[in-house]
Chains A and B, each alone.
Chain A
């Protein structure tokens, strides 16, 4: 052991303290960086002589401290939990926002809703029944009928627009996911080369984990750790990123709400269907695959119930000119529902030919009551009742969805807290570390000064006898 080794020991102390201070600085400045995991310097005593054993009798050589590694503090289990919770949250939030928008389209329970229009339509028939020969009353009936069909048309066309918007959004989500997947594959390659080359890949790992989270929230992807710090990413059991290669997802299926039942929208990977069950993609898929088409067909049911009930009575009547009543409404769904009579004299208001009677008009007006409607449809549910059911059902759906979103929000929040608790930067802690390393630096410097003073004694003050 040389007398100079003390200097070297002090030097390694200085270097270690400096390095540790660097990392503390890095932690402090990245305290608010998205996805940053705090890092810690792992120190180890350095350079115990390999020949220092009991048998050789050599003393161990102490050559200071060395920076073993810079650890990135991250709990992959917590990280995975947060990713899963976030993906579920994205799915719920997305579906809820589509349903919420659909709910606004109903404009119930306001005077702009269909219920009010239907009531006004029935009411106009009652008015006509009082003055069956009055053209003005007949014209009002035709106007009110047109208001009903207009409202149904605009409702289904708005639902269809909503569907198209959601499908376009889903396309966007998949494009984003494909981009993220290819970025991730590239990062995988860089991480691999860094790890193999022995360089720190901590910052790359942080960026990679951010991408994994993004993929989770987009398409519900989950990550599996692989070799050399790489991860492979899979969606619904299908691997989309493996090492440095990424596979594209595509969206196939109907481009229009009316074609959904024949050709449901599906996410494909190499022409294999991928079961996406969380992430924004799952929310949009549920909205365009079932929610909006179901809603649209429920509106169709309302239109058909109205058509059948009114027609069944209108057909039994006679017009002012003695002609037998025709269909009042025609069409096969809400979008095609139209009014057949074009003038007041085409309205079949009387029970017999050649008399001035409003009984048939009154009977159509009576359809405002659920019982009468149901009787006219031989027991099936009437239009108003179907409409109320549709509105209430959608309301319940949106309400329970909002509750699930709230629950999921708090699940995500606590997962986020857990991740932060392990990987987040605590400024108090960093401040304390800063003090610690500052003191360590000062002490190491003092070691060097002291050894220097000792050497000074040895070199300059010994052997001076007789000089």
Chain B
């Protein structure tokens, strides 16, 4: 619309509108600077808000995966240490077996050997019942807190997997099946061995049973080692993913400080010149020049 006739009122209205627009942008910049955020409401950048929410949700998931990883790691380490101790015990039992086959031993020595084997059996059962945070590590999802009955040596575990999520794509099994490390056979074999030592003497079958158990434990140790590697790999993947997410969230939501300060400075200059112009224009009218 062409405006042909200008009045003092419209002049001051226009000036006021200009100043208002200036001060509004100043306030917006001031807000951004003091909060440090480019987006403080969804309408500041709707799609940016959507991705910031999605990214922070993924970050929360990563934080949880790292907690799961920490848990899996300690549990696997406990299992690892236990299996090494188990392996040592089985090796001692095998040594005792070999000793017992030495024909020069008298009955007292045999009894002492048998007692040592019994001792080892009890320690092996204790090892099978190793717990991590109250849960038997070889018991699967068994209800009680024992994988092997401490008195009878019967295997109680159900071999069911205990898993946890370590990345968005993968889960890891944290338990070792009792049957995979001989929890169902070793206590009985050791019992039999002790009986045989004091009776007819240790048999080849006893030796085979122990050797089998040792190789089972060795296999399980290898498996645990591989799983520990997987967990620590996952840890570094998730950690770097999380760092990446934090960076992207910041890019999305936070202000670019130098740019915002520059904008604020130029906005300030614009505002001041608008004020200056207003002061010069609005005070003049013909009234001043007539006397």
Contacts and interface: CB of A to CB of B under 8 A. Distances in A.
A435 interface: yes
Interface stretch (B115-123, B160-168, B268-276): B160-168
Contact of B7 (A119, A126, A391, A426): A426
A431 B287 contact: yes
Contacts of B290: 431, 435
A395 B71 CA distance: 40
A106 interface: yes
Contacts of B192: none
B53 A388 contact: yes
Interface string A211-240: 000000000000000000000000000000
A194 B160 CA distance: 100
Interface stretch (B83-91, B135-143, B219-227): B135-143
Nearest to A394: B42
Given A127-B67, A427-B287, A116 B60 contact: yes
A369 B10 contact: no
Contacts of A415: 1
A354 B156 CA distance: 13
Interface string A404-428: 0000000001111110111011111
A421 B41 contact: no
A395 B49 contact: yes
Contacts of B7: 31, 420-421, 424-427
Given A119-B57, A120-B60, A355-B142, A126 B67 contact: yes
Contacts of A116: 56, 60
B253 A424 contact: no
A356 B13 contact: no
B286 interface: yes
Contact of A427 (B39, B43, B54, B285): B285
Interface string B40-56: 11111111011011101
Interface in A371-404: 384, 387-389, 391-399, 402
A388 B68 CA distance: 26
B45 to A, nearest CB: 8
Interface stretch (A5-13, A40-48, A129-137, A443-451): A129-137
A67 B267 CA distance: 54
B41 A354 contact: no
B107 to A, nearest CB: 47
Nearest to A99: B43
A123 interface: yes
A180 interface: no
B166 to A, nearest CB: 11
B286 A100 contact: no
Contacts of A120: 60
A378 to B, nearest CB: 21
Given A391-B53, A394-B42, A395-B41, A418 B141 contact: no
Interface string B131-166: 001110000111100000000000000101011110
B4 interface: yes
Given A123-B64, A362-B163, A431-B290, A417 B43 contact: no
Given A368-B61, A392-B49, A427 B8 contact: yes
A368 B63 CA distance: 12
A104 B54 CA distance: 19
B5 interface: yes
Nearest to B45: A395
Given A109-B39, A123-B60, A425 B52 contact: no
Nearest to B75: A130
A355 B64 contact: no
A362 B42 contact: no
B56 to A, nearest CB: 7
A346 interface: no
A425 B8 CA distance: 7
Nearest to A399: B43
A115 B142 CA distance: 36
Contacts of B52: 109
A421 B5 contact: yes
Contacts of B40: 110
Contacts of A414: 1, 3
Given A126-B64, A131-B133, A395-B46, A115 B9 contact: no
B63 A123 contact: yes
Contact of B5 (A110, A389, A426): A426
Contacts of A355: 140-143, 158, 160
Contacts of B133: 131, 134
B17 interface: yes
19 contacts: A100-B43, A106-B42, A109-B253, A122-B60, A122-B64, A123-B64, A130-B67, A133-B134, A133-B135, A357-B162, A362-B163, A391-B53, A392-B42, A416-B10, A416-B13, A418-B1, A420-B9, A421-B5, A427-B287
Q: Which 5 A-B pairs give the minimum distances between C-beta atoms?
A: A395-B42, A395-B46, A424-B7, A119-B60, A398-B43
Interface of A: 31-32, 100, 103-104, 106, 108-110, 113, 115-116, 118-120, 122-123, 126-127, 129-131, 133-134, 350, 352, 354-359, 362, 365-366, 368-369, 384, 387-389, 391-399, 402, 413-418, 420-422, 424-428, 431-432, 435
Given A109-B52, A416-B10, A420-B7, 20 more contacts: A32-B9, A108-B53, A109-B42, A109-B49, A115-B56, A122-B61, A126-B68, A362-B165, A368-B60, A368-B64, A395-B41, A395-B42, A399-B43, A399-B46, A421-B3, A424-B10, A425-B8, A428-B285, A431-B285, A432-B286
